Amino acid sequence: MRKLTKWICVMFVMFFLFFAWIIISFGYAFDGREYKKSDWFDYYYLTPSLIRNAPAASENATYHVRGGDEHQNFEEEVVWSGVKDVPRAVKELDAYLINEGIDVETEYKQGAEYFVLHYNDVVVLKISDCMGPCNRF
């Protein structure tokens, strides 16, 4: 009987910790974060593999994640600054999305948007997912 009580207590604690971790991690990303690759916890926890495996446009990358509500999108992006050859970087990122099987038009209809943006010496790869009802057709 004593072993059973210990086992039940251990399971309760594990159950509690698991749900506490879910609640904390859910709120962690929705607050919005800006981080670098050197912030290993944020980088490996928050960065989707599509962005993590993207060809780097420069060594200077900043990652962003922003949550939304029913009227906003959940956004994840990487911003490379100091890009030496912007047209080449944009072309490589466009090809990367195609190689990953991403059809921008189809994804848009399903509520996800993929962008490769650029200005001056900055290149951005951005993913925006619809958080609420997406009435796109």
pLDDT tens profile 76-114: 999 999 999 999 999 999 999 999 998 877 777 677 888
Residue 136 in domain: no
The whole-number pLDDT of residue 15 equals 80
Report how far Cα 105 is from the mean position of its chain's Cα atoms: 20
Q: Residue 74 gets which letter from DSSP?
A: E
The whole-number pLDDT of residue 68 equals 64
φ, ψ (nearest 5 deg) of residue 15: -60, -45
Rg (CA), the chain: 20
CA–CA distance, 137 with 13 (Å, rounded to integer): 47
The whole-number pLDDT of residue 22 equals 61
Q: Is 121 exposed, middle or buried (0-12, 13-18, 19+ CB in 10 A)?
A: middle
Residues 13 and 42 occupy one common structural domain: no
Residues 80 and 97 occupy one common structural domain: yes
Which range marks the domain in which residue 13 is found?
1-29
Residues 53 and 20 occupy one common structural domain: no
Q: Give the chain's residues under pLDDT 50.
A: 137
Strand residue runs (E) in 1-137:
33-35, 60-66, 73-81, 112-119, 122-130
| Number of domains, the chain | 2
The whole-number pLDDT of residue 29 equals 54
Residues 21 and 58 occupy one common structural domain: no
Q: pTM to 2 decimals?
A: 0.72
